[in-house]
Amino acid sequence: MARTINVIQWATGGVGRAAIEGILAHPGLALVGCWVHSEDKAGRDVGDICGLSPIGVKATNDIDTLLAMDADCVLYSPVMPDSALVARILASGKNVVTPLNWFYPGKRKVEDLETACQQGNSTLHGTGIHPGGITERFPLMVSALSSAITHVRAEEFSDIRTYNAPAVVSDIMLFGKTPEEAASSPMVNLLGGGFGQSMDMVAAEMGFKVDGDIKAGHEVAVATAPIDSPIGVIKPGLVAAQRFTWQHTVASEPVITVRVNWFMGEENLEPAWNFGPEGERFEVEVSGDPSSHVVFHGWHPESVAAGLIRNPGIVATANHCVSAIPYVCEAGPGIKTYLDLPLIAGRASPALSV
Strand positions, DSSP E, 16-162: 29-35, 73-76, 95-98, 123-126, 147-159
Distance CA 73, CA 333 (A): 13
CATH topology of domain 5-128+315-352: Rossmann fold (3.40.50)
- The C-alpha torsion from 46 through 79 and 267 to 234, rounded to 10°, is 100
Domain boundary assignment for the chain: 5-128+315-352, 137-298
CA angle 270, 275, 280 (to 5 degrees): 135
Per-residue pLDDT of the chain (354 residues; tens, 9 = 90+): 478 999 999 999 999 999 999 999 999 999 999 999 989 999 999 999 999 999 999 999 999 999 999 999 999 999 889 999 999 999 999 999 999 999 999 866 789 999 999 999 999 999 999 999 999 999 999 999 999 999 999 999 999 999 888 888 999 899 999 999 999 888 888 888 899 999 999 999 999 999 988 999 999 999 999 999 989 999 999 999 999 999 999 999 999 999 999 999 999 999 999 999 999 999 999 999 999 999 999 999 999 989 988 999 999 999 999 999 999 999 999 999 999 999 999 999 888 876
Distance CA 263, CA 272 (A): 11
Fold identical between 5-128+315-352 and 137-298?
no
The model's pTM: 0.93
DSSP state letters, 271-317: S-----TT-SEEEEEEEEES-EEEEE-SSS-SSHHHHHH--HHHHHH
Whole-angstrom Cα Rg for the chain? 21
Q: Is the dihedral of CA 44, 65, 82, 109 positive or negative?
A: negative
Grouping H, G, I as helix, E, B as strand and the rest as coil, residue 29 is: strand
Contacts of 313 (CB under 8 A, 6+ apart): 129, 158, 299, 300
Contacts of 53 (CB under 8 A, 6+ apart): 47
CA separation, residue 183 to residues 107, 157, 166, 179, 246 (Å): 29, 20, 20, 6, 16
Q: Which of 216, 278, 218, 215 is nearest to 242 (CA)?
A: 218
Per-residue confidence (pLDDT) for residue 1, from 0 to 100: 46
Phi-psi region of 232 (alpha: psi -120 to 50; beta: other; left: phi over 0): left
DSSP category for residue 339: G
The CATH number that domain 137-298 falls under is 3.30.360
